[in-house]
Amino acid sequence: MKIIKKSSFYLVVSFLLVMGLSLTAYAQIEGQDTLFQISTIDALLQGLYDGDITVGQLLDHGNFGLGTFHDLDGEMVILDGVAYQVKSTGEVKEVSDIVKTPFAVATYFDEDKSAVFKGVKDIEELKKELTELLPSKNIFYAIKIEGEFKHVKTRSVPKQSKPYPKLAKIAATQPTFDFYNTKGTLVGFWSPYYVNGINVPKFHLHFINEDRTGGGHLLECQLKRGEVQIDYSSGFQLILPHSNSFRKIKLNEESGEDLEDVEE
Ligand SMILES: [Zn+2]
């Protein structure tokens, strides 16, 4: 009787131990960063600018990110849990939770690796140096660079009305902004090549200046000094729009060339 009790005691202990271990393992997986994305880059390229979820809902899935707004009304930058809208006039404002977005990516930023960059002459050199920091080309990364810049060039997109033109057509006439000797933050992502069609492969970076009065989609930059933080993300959650327009839009067309025109 005593022996049985003892063995059942051990059974219970080992059961609890196994439970505890698997809960810890689960907690670790849960704790790993996940990129949360609304819609696909191809849908945006094809002109799907109908907002689908609200900025408030997006902020439930991350405190860091980028995207655009309903009617393609400017560039989105999410930093420290605040969503900013860089309008095509260059004006920046904090966005209310009820504004909708047709395309956005967000994550809870959690630094896994850091570095200091000094004297980076242009965006190509920046991308090259960042790429060297990535331990694999097969997962996602959120990238944050707080820096002093000699020059930053950005663009924003003007608000559209229906029927929406394709993004490449708008990008050809987009307003650009130059900032000289400015402090600010680059906010963005590096995505693996296999996301082609869903997200932007490799780099997609937005900028917001320190006093939150300027920013946009990054086109060029010259960095004096930057604190680089990289967040490794093995999780990816894609939410497709619920709208009829998404269901009807043609996404089987080749849009790789459009993406090159728009994002580079
Ligand atoms: Zn962008």
The number of folded domains in the chain is 2
CA distance 78 to 109: 11
Same domain for 14 and 72, yes or no, is no
pLDDT mean over 228-238: 97
Q: In this model, does residue 6 exceed pLDDT 90? A: no
Q: In this model, does residue 262 exceed pLDDT 60? A: yes
How much distance in Å is there from the Cα of 27 to the middle of ligand 1?
A: 32
Same domain for 136 and 11, yes or no, is no
How much distance in Å is there from the Cα of 150 to the middle of ligand 1?
A: 21
Q: How confident is the model at residue 15 (pLDDT cuts 50, 70, 90)?
A: very low
- Angle (nearest 5°) at CA 54 between 53 and 56: 135
Report the pLDDT value the prediction gives residue 4, as an integer from 0 to 100.
46
Domain with 21, as residue range(s), is 1-31
30 torsion bin: left (phi>0), alpha (psi -120 to 50), beta (else): alpha
Q: In this model, does residue 260 exceed pLDDT 80? A: no
Report the pLDDT value the prediction gives residue 173, as an integer from 0 to 100.
85
Burial of 224 from C-beta contacts in 10 A (0-12 / 13-18 / 19+): middle
How much distance in Å is there from the Cα of 82 to the middle of ligand 1?
A: 17
* CATH code (residue 194): 3.30.1330.80
Q: Which residues contact 201 (CB under 8 A, 6 or more apart)?
A: 191, 192, 193, 194, 195
Query: Which is it for strands 104-107 and 113-120: parallel, antiparallel or unpaired?
Result: unpaired
CA distance 250 to 207: 31
How much distance in Å is there from the Cα of 204 to the middle of ligand 1?
A: 6
Same domain for 99 and 226, yes or no, is yes
pLDDT digits (tens, 9 = 90+) for 133-178: 999 999 999 999 999 999 999 999 999 999 999 999 998 889 999 9
How much distance in Å is there from the Cα of 117 to the middle of ligand 1?
A: 23
Same domain for 242 and 209, yes or no, is yes
pLDDT mean over 56-82: 97
Report the pLDDT value the prediction gives residue 203, as an integer from 0 to 100.
98
Same domain for 185 and 114, yes or no, is yes
Q: What is the mean pLDDT of the chain?
A: 89
Same domain for 24 and 136, yes or no, is no
Same domain for 79 and 108, yes or no, is yes
Same domain for 5 and 68, yes or no, is no
Q: In this model, does residue 243 exceed pLDDT 70? A: yes
pLDDT mean over 218-224: 98
The three-state secondary structure class of 213 is coil
Report the pLDDT value the prediction gives residue 250, as an integer from 0 to 100.
87
Same domain for 44 and 15, yes or no, is no
Q: In this model, does residue 210 exceed pLDDT 70? A: yes
Q: How far is CA 170 from CA 155, 218, 254, in A?
A: 11, 16, 18
- Angle (nearest 5°) at CA 258 between 257 and 259: 90
* Residue linked to tokens 């492969």: 201
Same domain for 127 and 204, yes or no, is yes
How much distance in Å is there from the Cα of 219 to the middle of ligand 1?
A: 9
Same domain for 38 and 164, yes or no, is yes
CA distance 123 to 153: 10
Strands (E), the chain: 33-38, 53-54, 64-68, 75-79, 82-86, 92-94, 100-101, 104-107, 113-120, 140-155, 176-191, 202-209, 215-239
Q: In this model, does residue 257 exceed pLDDT 70? A: no
How much distance in Å is there from the Cα of 218 to the middle of ligand 1?
A: 7
Q: In this model, does residue 125 exceed pLDDT 80? A: yes
pLDDT digits (tens, 9 = 90+) for 16-52: 444 444 444 444 444 458 999 999 999 999 999 999 9
Same domain for 18 and 96, yes or no, is no
pLDDT digits (tens, 9 = 90+) for 189-208: 999 999 999 999 999 999 99
Amino acid, single-letter form, for residue 25: A
Q: In this model, does residue 185 exceed pLDDT 80? A: yes
Report the pLDDT value the prediction gives residue 32, as an integer from 0 to 100.
58
Q: Do residues 216 and 185 make contact, with C-beta atoms less than 8 angstroms apart?
A: no
Report the pLDDT value the prediction gives residue 22, as an integer from 0 to 100.
45
